[in-house]
Structure 1
């Protein structure tokens, strides 16, 4: 006789329960079930939306501040980094065309930098939930790490085209471009939690999560190269500037989701495959 179904088993059709029980008894089934449980525990959808919103309100003001500080010769590069359509690119040039370094000043730059740490704090909260970190970073050193993390993100965005140019000089540019982007994405996913958590960041999940994120971004970058320019142009034509904002937030949500998912999968890989099992006591 079959045992009485549990509350979870009762949702599965009776004819499928034996196969489901057999599959859940395998290692792949257990890992899948554990992974789904981790997604629910971390609340990945809500946290990804929080990271996307914080990224939009933290990184874009920094980019605009840099455009005002570095002068008009480099503002076209900023529009290229953001993949703006022609109409929106002219809007950006008009918005910051009269700006100069005195428009911000030291106090203004500090305010923008400190405001941008909202993204870093949201990342810290997410990593503390995903990984078993004992103590939350605090104090002046933690603030410095938070500022450094946002600066690293901005530098990564600005030098993305340099990486593309370097890849074009290598043999087989298409393959080289994918490999260079993979290494850069892995490095970014490893560097961010290391900067925020320092020695508290668990090494196994950190490295495994970085590799998983790099693999995810191979597909995401390919899809984004096709989707993002068209979506931005369509949003700008239909809704103007506000349409661009919603499109960017949607794309940042995808990237944030991938970053959190990679951290979760990295933790599972480290726990199941990289951590040595303790020896049995006699």
Structure 2
């Protein structure tokens, strides 16, 4: 038995061998043609599975936060949120009435008493599940190990609160603050790029410098801007038809399907951004780190 144990590699030897394998794999991929690196990255990120998980968590936890907080917000904020939902999703007709009804609940005092401060805190904490999956997407895209919960917890909540605040002002932003939709689309693109640039830096815990994160932010912001323009054509008719046929359940089906499309764009943007940021001359220009990835 002792001889068998001596012949067996120790855990430290196994870890060193795995580390050497990863270094060799990384060097091979770094020198590989762009299409091969891109395909390897998309397989590693697992685009469809990640996008579906993000959409499900956004629908089940993050979006309900809007309706919970609506019970405690002034009427002006509720109206602004309704306008933002109408502008971003192109809501109208029966679908818009459903959203307005959720954001302006009757029996306001009863709703507030039912939730209370503890209810809001629990809802916010559960909604950070979306932040956690998004953080894992950023870490997988950049081949980094997980941040510990103590370091990452405040980042999850910060991300959620900032994005909820950004959603409230979407209506004014998309209208260019009264200057027209042309300026509004440009402002939306710039804001989306900045928010996704900051999102990556925040959820990665500052382990990647700002500049290498820019390609992913630009791709994600551009993709979401294109989808926002497309939503005006697709969402209203699809939602109204679904709500007419299936009632509130139709709103669920259509919204969840659209969220999967949105988070597919997010997953692709962040994942491909890593590959672009590591390309030859651009990598040197951005100062992209050349450290070895640490896969799961």
Same fold (TM over 0.5): yes
> Take 1:38 and 1:128, find their aligned partners in 2: how far apart are those partners?
12
Q: What SS does the aligned partner of 1:201 have? A: coil
Contact 2:128 2:160 in 1 (8 A): yes
Indicate the structure whose relative CO is greater, using CA pairs within 8 Å and at least 6 residues apart.
2
2:70 corresponds in structure 1 to 67
Q: 1:208 to 1:73 in 2, by over 3 A?
A: closer
2:41 corresponds in structure 1 to 38
1:13 corresponds in structure 2 to none
Structure 1 runs not aligned, ≥5 long: 1-28
2:162 corresponds in structure 1 to 152
Q: 1:224 to 1:59 in 2, by over 3 A?
A: same
Contact 2:175 2:183 in 1 (8 A): no
Q: 2:56 aligns with which of 38, 53, 57?
A: 53
The equivalences for 1:224-239 within 5 A come to 224-239=231-246
Q: What SS does the aligned partner of 2:206 have? A: helix
CA-based RMSD: 2.3
2:140 corresponds in structure 1 to 129
Report the CA distance between 1:164 and its aligned residue: 2.5
The equivalences for 1:176-215 within 5 A come to 176-215=183-222
> Take 1:65 and 1:130, find their aligned partners in 2: how far apart are those partners?
33
> Take 1:92 and 1:203, find their aligned partners in 2: how far apart are those partners?
37
Q: 1:164 to 1:157 in 2, by over 3 A?
A: same
Report the CA distance between 1:117 and its aligned residue: 0.7
Report the CA distance between 1:237 and its aligned residue: 0.9
Pairs aligned (count) = 246
Report the CA distance between 1:105 and its aligned residue: 1.1
TM-score normalized by structure 1? 0.79
Contact 1:131 1:202 in 2 (8 A): no
Contact 1:163 1:180 in 2 (8 A): yes
Report the CA distance between 1:118 and its aligned residue: 0.5
> Take 1:224 and 1:34, find their aligned partners in 2: how far apart are those partners?
32
1:142 corresponds in structure 2 to 152
2:122 corresponds in structure 1 to 111
> Take 2:184 and 2:96, find their aligned partners in 1: how far apart are those partners?
26
1:274 corresponds in structure 2 to 282
Out of 240-249 and 197-206, give the one that drifted further. Answer: 197-206
Report the CA distance between 1:140 and its aligned residue: 3.4
Contact 1:190 1:210 in 2 (8 A): yes
Q: 1:203 to 1:132 in 2, by over 3 A?
A: farther
2:171 aligned with 1:161: yes
Contact 1:208 1:266 in 2 (8 A): yes
> Take 1:218 and 1:103, find their aligned partners in 2: how far apart are those partners?
38
> Take 1:253 and 1:92, find their aligned partners in 2: how far apart are those partners?
20
TM-score normalized by structure 2? 0.76
Structure 2 runs not aligned, ≥5 long: 1-31, 288-296
2:248 corresponds in structure 1 to 241
2:18 corresponds in structure 1 to none
Report the CA distance between 1:122 and its aligned residue: 0.6
